[in-house]
Amino acid sequence: MFRPTVTAQDLQPSPEEQERLAQGGLVRIPMETGLNVGPVNITLVLGPKPALIDTALHCSNNLEQLEEALKPYNLSLESIEEIWLTHPHIDHFGLTGAIIERSGAQTYSLALGAYRFDDYLSFWHTDRQAFHDHVQQHGGPPDILGGILSAASTYHKVSSPFTIDHKLEPNQPVQIAGRYEVIPLHTPGHTPWCTSFWFPETKMLVAGDALRQKMRFNMILYTAEDVSQEHQGLACFQDSLRLLEETPAEWVIPGHGVSFSNHQKTIRHALKRQSKRCDLMENTLEDSGPMSAYEMAIHMYNKSITEDALLLVMSDTIALLEWLHHNERIERFTNEEVFHYKLP
Ligand SMILES: [Zn+2]
């Protein structure tokens, strides 16, 4: 069984971080997920209409933990009036329905991805099937493919249904918590719907999963029919990172991990690493000849391809190879119904 090496307790904000965030009326609350990704952050926005950005999963005693974390601010679950969501991944929104039940809070998300929250359960099988077909097309072997389809959905155990009340447009300022102006930035890459919340008055950025301090694999490709390719791929992710680089944030709260400053350095580092990986893939094709994305992934990240990491590693590898292909640095051809890549 998987045991997270880092607990929510380990990731509690230090007194310095707490003080820094308090200047912008924000509180970072790390919560357990029981998933490989480790704890996830809820951000409390203090004001006349107390708001949460993201809500973690409905697992273990998270509802009680959240209630405990609200107490120092004289708040209870019933006091929460707004819930703002960064992206439709279960570790970020699973507790939403349970909080609404207690508080009647209103929900907010980018209009583009609202339907994914409203119908989250129905997308489990279509996403899974689409991922299966995608990995098959990129050379995944039968045992791996079987595992993708047989993975059971835990969605109904760790979340309950809700709908989005307020649909946001990118770059349109709105008020949050009855107190601050917030600008939703559309920052796709991790998912096509990712949103970062920029607080221009306090120079705080609640980034969701668009920006993390240590970004190893971040892109997840969606190939189901409802999802356009417009907001996916490496070029799109790089545009999002550049948009965040230009945002003059002094302090960033990521979806996972502690808050940090100097996010421009983090972004430059991530962009450099991606370009190095692309070069490495090109060199590998030169040395080893034509390869499928699966063979490339095994070659580059052998140890990382456990079943849990498959989605991330394959998405990342395919995104990089497709970017090289799009930029005419490599060619793609089909051999026995599997995509292969080679040098021109
Ligand atoms: Zn996440």
Q: What is the mean pLDDT of each run of 10 residues along the chain (344 residues)?
A: 73 96 97 88 98 92 96 97 96 95 97 92 86 94 84 78 97 98 97 97 97 83 88 95 97 96 95 95 96 94 72 92 97 96 96
In a domain, 339, yes or no: no
Position 145 scores a pLDDT of: 87
Task: Give 255 Cα–ligand 1 centroid separation in angstroms.
Answer: 6
Domain CATH number, residue 116: 3.60.15.10
Nearest to 263 by CA among 253, 272, 274: 253
Q: Does residue 141 belong to any structural domain of this protein?
A: no
Predicted confidence at residue 3, as pLDDT, reads 52
Q: Is 105 within the bounds of a domain?
A: yes
Q: What is the pLDDT of residue 305?
A: 72
Contacts 24+ apart (CB under 8 A), 101-104: 101/160, 102/77, 102/78, 103/77, 103/78, 103/79
Q: 74 CA to middle of ligand 1, Å?
A: 28
Relative to beta strand 106-110, strand 82-84 is parallel
Give dist(CA 287, CA 301) in Å, integer. 17
The DSSP code sequence of 119-175 is THHHHHHHHHHHHHHHHHHTT--HHHHHHHHHPPP-HHHH------SEEE-TT--EE
Amino acid code (one letter) for 193: W
Number of structural domains found in the chain: 1
Question: Would residue 172 count as lying in a domain?
Answer: yes
Amino acid 125: pLDDT: 82
How much distance in Å is there from the Cα of 334 to the middle of ligand 1? 34
Any domain includes 2: no
Cα(89) to centroid(ligand 1), Å: 7
Instruction: Write down the pLDDT at residue 302.
Output: 78
Q: Residue 61 Cα, ligand 1 centroid: separation in angstroms?
A: 19
CA of 289 to the centre of ligand 1 (A): 36
Give residue 343 CA to ligand 1 midpoint distance, Å: 35
User: How much distance in Å is there from the Cα of 209 to the middle of ligand 1?
Assistant: 5
CA dihedral over 332, 333, 339, 343, signed as positive or negative: negative
Which range of residues forms the domain containing residue 231? Answer: 15-120+160-261
Is 146 a member of any domain?
no
pLDDT at 257: 95
Q: Report every protein residue that has its C-beta within 5 angstroms of ion ligand 1.
A: 209, 255
Q: What confidence score (pLDDT) does residue 1 get?
A: 40
